C-alpha cells in the first residue's frame, strides 16, 4: 500500500494508536499547517494520501459488486416464485370464456382485388354464407369443419366463392350456390378484358395497340345469329367503336361482320374472328345496326341543314358538328333517323342547335332550331329561343342575382310581349326561401329548412292563409311576413298545396313566431304515430304530412299524415297513415288511423323486394287492397 516503506500490521496498529493518543500523526509548523518533514514515527503525508485514495476505490468497487449481487438475487427470487406459483396453482387450470351478444352486422358485400389494385370480384350479401353459429359450439367437430373449408375450398364461403359444394355431415344450409358472384379480368395494362355477371353472363372486351376499346361482346350478342353474313362462318354480333386520327370516336354501333384475311402463296382467304381486326379502323365495313356517328370540325358535305342555321354552322374547329343515329345503317352520311347539328360562338358555347328528324319531312317539320344567349362574364344562359320567327316559336329569358342565382324567369310566344312565370327569393345563407308562380301571382311556395339544411316543409301542413308561412291571401294587417312586412302577399292566391317533413321531435325551432312550428306539425304530440315512431337523425324522413285543395269546392281535402319505419339498411319497411278527422280542424288535433294507403315491404339480402302490400283508397264501399304478396 505504501511503496518504499515496510508497512506491517503492527505498524498500522501503532500508527493508529498514535493518531488516537496525539490527535494527529503529523506535526504542525509555525503557521499551523502540517509539517511534512516531521512524521512523528508515521509515513510521510504523500504516502498517506495515496493510501486513502486506494482504500476508497476498493470500498466503491465492493459496494457496486454487492449491489449487483443483491439485485440479481432479488430477480432470481421473484422468477422462482412465479415459476413455483404457475406450476403449483395454474398447471391443471382449464379456463373457458364465452360471450353472448346480439349480432349487429347483417349484410356483407365482399370485394376482391389483385396486386395492381384492380377489382377482380364482388360478392353481394345474398351470396355470403356465414358458418352457422351452432357449428362453433360443437367442440372439435366445428373446428374440423372450419379447417376443411380452409384447406379444400370446397364450399362457397367467404373468402372463397369459386366453387359450389356441401361439406359432408354439415347442414344443408351450408350449401351456397355461386349464382351472384361477379368476376372481372384485366390485361397487363389494367384494362378490363372480361366481366362475368349473374344476369348478363360473360362480356369480353378487345383493345387496339393504342389501348382504345374497339370491340365488346356480351352473352346475348354471342348467341345472336348472323343477320347479314356473306358466308356461313359467323361469330355472333358485337359492339364496335371506330376512331379518327385524333383518337376521337366517330362511330359506334353493332355488327356481325367477320374479318377476311387474304395472304400467303398462292394467295388464299380465311375467315377470322372480328377480334383479329382491332387495329384496322376501316373494319367493320358492312352496314351495322343502331349506329351513332359523330362528325367534327366541319359540316356534313352536301347536307341541306346548313341553310337552317344563321350564316351556316360556325366555329366548328375541334368541336362536334353533328351527331346522327341510324337504326339500320346505309352508305350515305346524309340519311339517318335523326340527328343534332351544332353551331358555336367564339367562346365555345352552343349558339344554335338544330334537331333533325328526317321521318317528319313529309309534314315539313324536319328541322327544329334553338338559339341561345349567354352572359359574357358568368356564362349563364340569359335566353333560349325556340323556332324564333316561326309559328310555333317560344322564348325563355332568365335573370340572376350577384351570386348567379336565378331570380326570375320570363316566357313569350312572340319575343315581344313577356310574362313573368316565376320569381325566386333566397335566405341570406343561400337556400331557396320562396317561389312566386305566375305573372298574376297565382301561387307562392315558401320553404322551411332545419339547421342541417334538410327541407322541413313547403307552405306547411295547414291550408289556412293566416297560418301560411308566406301569408299568401291573408288580409289581416296585424300579421307580418319575415318579421317586418305587413300584407306584402295579400294579393296572392291562397295556397292550394302544402306538406311538411318530420325527422325527429326537436328537428326545427323557428327564430320568430312559434306559429311556424305549429303549422309544420300542428299538434301531433298526442298522436300515436308521432310518439311511437322513433326519431331519425341520419336524414331519413320519419313522417310526411301533406294536404291539397279540392278544385271543385276550393276547400282543403282532409290531410294525410304518413309515418315510416326503416330497416338497418335504410329501406322502408312500413308506412302507417293517419287522416285528418275534419277539414275544419288543424291537422294533428284529431288524427284517426286509417288502413288506406298502407304499405309494407320485405326485401332479400340484395335489396330486391320479396313481398309487398299496398292499399289504395277505400271510398267507403270498395276493397282498398292493391297488392298483397305476403
Residue 272, C-beta contacts closer than 8 angstroms, at least 6 positions apart:
258, 259, 260, 261
Full-model pTM:
0.73
Q: What is the pLDDT of residue 23?
A: 46
pLDDT band at 583; cut points 50, 70, 90: low
Residue 528 has pLDDT above 80, yes or no: no
Q: What is the pLDDT of residue 67?
A: 87
Closest CA to 576 of 560, 587, 552: 560
Question: For residue 344, how many C-alpha atoms fall within 13 Å in the half-sphere facing its CB?
Answer: 16
What residue ranges do the domains of the chain occupy? Answer: 1-95, 429-628
Q: What is the pLDDT of residue 156?
A: 45
Contact 539, 562 (CB under 8 A): no
Q: What is the pLDDT of residue 366?
A: 94
Highest mean pLDDT: which range of 38-42, 409-413, 524-528, 589-593: 409-413
Helix, strand, coil percentages for the chain (3-state, nearest 5) = 20, 35, 50
The helix (run of H) or strand (run of E) holding residue 447 is strand 443-449
Neighbours of 547 (CB within 10 A): 24
Instruction: Give the Cα separation of 497 and 548 in Å (integer).
Output: 4
Residue 188 has pLDDT above 60, yes or no: yes
pLDDT band at 623; cut points 50, 70, 90: low
Question: For residue 210, how many C-alpha atoms fall within 13 Å in the half-sphere facing its CB?
Answer: 13
Q: What is the pLDDT of residue 131?
A: 62
Neighbours of 619 (CB within 10 A): 9
pLDDT band at 6; cut points 50, 70, 90: low
- The mean predicted confidence, pLDDT, of the chain is 80
Identify the three-state secondary structure at position 612. strand
Residue 324 has pLDDT above 80, yes or no: yes
pLDDT band at 517; cut points 50, 70, 90: low
Contact 425, 433 (CB under 8 A): yes
Neighbours of 137 (CB within 10 A): 10
Q: What is the pLDDT of residue 402?
A: 94
| pLDDT, average across residues 315-342 | 94
Residue 116 to residues 109, 119, 189, 190, 194, Cα–Cα distance (Å) = 21, 9, 10, 8, 16
Residue 101 to residues 135, 268, 453, 508, Cα–Cα distance (Å) = 17, 75, 37, 37
Instruction: Give the Cα separation of 339 and 360 in Å (integer).
Output: 12
Neighbours of 293 (CB within 10 A): 20
pLDDT band at 14; cut points 50, 70, 90: low
Q: Can you spell out the DSSP letters for 391-410? A: TT-EEEEEEE-TTS-EEEEE
For residue range 205-233, what is the model confidence (pLDDT) as tens digits?
999 999 999 999 999 998 887 655 554 45
List of E strands, 190-248? 192-197, 201-207, 213-217, 238-243
Query: What are the backbone dihedrals phi and psi of residue 342, each rounded to the nearest 5 degrees, phi first?
Result: -125, 150
Identify the three-state secondary structure at position 201. strand
For residue range 68-112, what is the model confidence (pLDDT) as tens digits?
888 999 999 999 998 888 888 877 777 777 777 776 776 888 899
Amino acid at each position: 500500500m505504501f511503496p518504499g516503506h515496510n508497512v506491517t500490521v503492527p505498524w498500522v496498529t501503532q500508527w493508529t494508536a498514535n493518531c488516537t493518543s496525539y490527535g494527529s500523526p503529523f506535526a504542525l509548523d509555525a503557521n499551523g499547517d502540517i509539517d511534512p518533514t516531521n512524521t512523528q514515527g508515521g509515513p510521510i503525508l504523500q504516502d498517506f494520501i495515496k493510501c486513502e485514495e486506494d482504500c476508497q476505490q476498493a470500498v466503491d468497487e465492493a459496494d457496486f459488486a454487492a449491489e449487483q449481487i443483491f439485485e440479481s438475487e432479488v430477480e432470481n427470487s421473484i422468477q422462482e416464485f412465479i415459476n413455483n406459483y404457475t406450476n403449483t396453482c395454474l398447471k391443471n387450470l382449464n379456463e373457458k370464456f364465452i360471450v353472448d351478444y346480439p349480432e349487429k352486422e347483417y349484410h356483407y358485400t365482399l370485394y376482391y382485388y389483385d396486386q395492381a389494385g384492380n377489382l377482380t370480384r364482388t360478392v353481394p350479401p345474398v351470396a355470403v354464407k356465414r358458418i352457422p353459429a351452432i357449428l362453433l359450439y360443437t367442440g372439435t367437430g366445428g373446428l374440423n369443419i372450419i379447417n376443411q373449408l380452409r384447406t379444400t375450398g370446397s364450399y362457397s364461403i367467404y373468402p372463397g366463392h369459386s366453387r359450389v359444394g356441401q361439406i359432408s355431415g354439415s347442414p344443408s344450409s351450408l350449401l351456397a350456390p355461386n349464382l351472384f358472384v361477379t368476376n372481372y379480368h384485366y390485361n397487363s395494362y389494367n384494362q378490363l378484358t372480361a366481366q362475368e355477371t349473374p344476369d348478363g353472363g360473360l362480356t369480353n372486351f378487345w383493345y387496339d395497340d393504342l389501348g382504345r376499346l374497339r370491340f365488346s361482346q356480351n352473352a346475348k350478342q354471342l348467341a345472336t345469329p348472323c343477320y347479314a353474313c356473306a358466308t356461313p362462318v359467323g361469330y355472333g354480333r358485337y359492339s364496335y367503336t371506330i376512331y379518327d386520327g385524333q383518337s376521337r370516336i366517330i362511330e359506334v354501333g353493332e355488327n356481325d361482320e367477320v374479318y377476311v384475311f387474304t395472304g400467303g402463296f398462292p394467295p388464299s382467304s380465311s375467315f377470322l374472328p372480328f377480334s383479329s381486326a382491332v387495329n384496322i379502323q376501316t373494319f367493320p365495313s358492312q352496314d351495322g345496326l343502331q349506329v351513332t356517328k359523330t362528325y367534327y370540325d366541319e359540316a356534313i358535305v352536301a347536307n341541306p341543314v346548313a341553310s337552317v342555321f344563321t350564316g351556316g354552322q360556325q366555329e366548328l374547329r375541334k368541336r362536334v358538328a353533328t351527331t346522327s343515329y341510324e337504326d339500320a345503317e346505309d352508305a350515305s352520311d346524309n340519311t339517318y333517323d335523326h340527328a343534332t347539328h351544332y353551331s358555336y360562338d367564339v367562346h365555345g358555347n352552343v349558339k344554335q342547335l338544330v334537331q333533325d328528324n328526317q321521318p317528319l319531312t313529309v309534314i315539313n317539320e324536319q328541322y327544329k332550331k334553338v338559339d341561345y344567349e349567354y352572359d359574357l362574364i358568368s356564362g349563364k344562359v340569359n335566353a333560349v329561343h325556340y323556332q324564333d320567327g316561326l309559328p310555333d316559336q317560344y322564348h325563355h329569358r332568365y335573370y340572376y342575382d350577384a351570386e348567379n342565382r336565378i331570380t326570375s324567369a320570363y316566357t313569350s310566344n312572340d319575343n315581344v310581349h313577356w310574362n313573368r312565370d316565376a320569381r325566386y327569393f333566397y335566405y341570406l345563407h343561400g337556400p331557396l326561401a320562396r317561389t312566386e308562380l305566375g305573372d298574376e301571382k297565382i301561387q307562392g311556395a315558401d320553404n322551411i329548412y332545419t339547421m342541417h339544411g334538410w327541407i322541413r316543409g313547403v307552405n306547411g301542413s295547414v291550408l289556412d292563409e293566416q297560418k301560411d308561412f308566406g301569408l299568401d291571401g291573408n288580409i289581416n294587417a296585424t300579421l307580418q311576413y319575415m318579421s317586418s312586412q305587413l300584407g306584402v302577399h295579400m294579393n296572392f292566391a291562397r295556397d292550394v298545396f302544402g306538406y311538411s317533413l318530420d325527422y325527429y321531435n326537436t328537428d326545427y325551432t323557428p327564430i320568430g313566431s312559434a306559429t311556424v312550428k305549429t303549422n309544420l306539425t300542428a299538434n301531433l304530440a298526442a298522436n300515436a304515430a308521432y310518439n311511437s315512431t322513433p326519431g331519425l337523425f341520419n336524414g331519413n324522413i320519419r313522417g310526411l304530412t301533406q294536404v291539397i285543395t279540392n278544385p271543385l269546392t276550393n276547400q282543403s281535402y282532409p290531410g294525410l299524415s304518413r309515418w315510416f319505419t326503416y330497416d338497418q339498411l335504410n329501406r322502408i319497411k312500413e308506412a302507417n297513415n293517419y287522416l285528418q278527422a275534419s277539414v275544419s280542424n288543424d291537422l294533428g288535433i284529431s288524427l284517426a288511423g286509417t288502413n288506406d294507403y298502407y304499405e309494407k315491404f320485405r326485401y332479400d339480402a340484395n335489396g330486391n323486394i320479396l313481398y309487398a302490400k299496398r292499399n289504395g283508397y277505400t271510398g267507403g264501399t270498395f276493397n282498398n287492397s292493391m297488392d298483397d304478396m305476403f
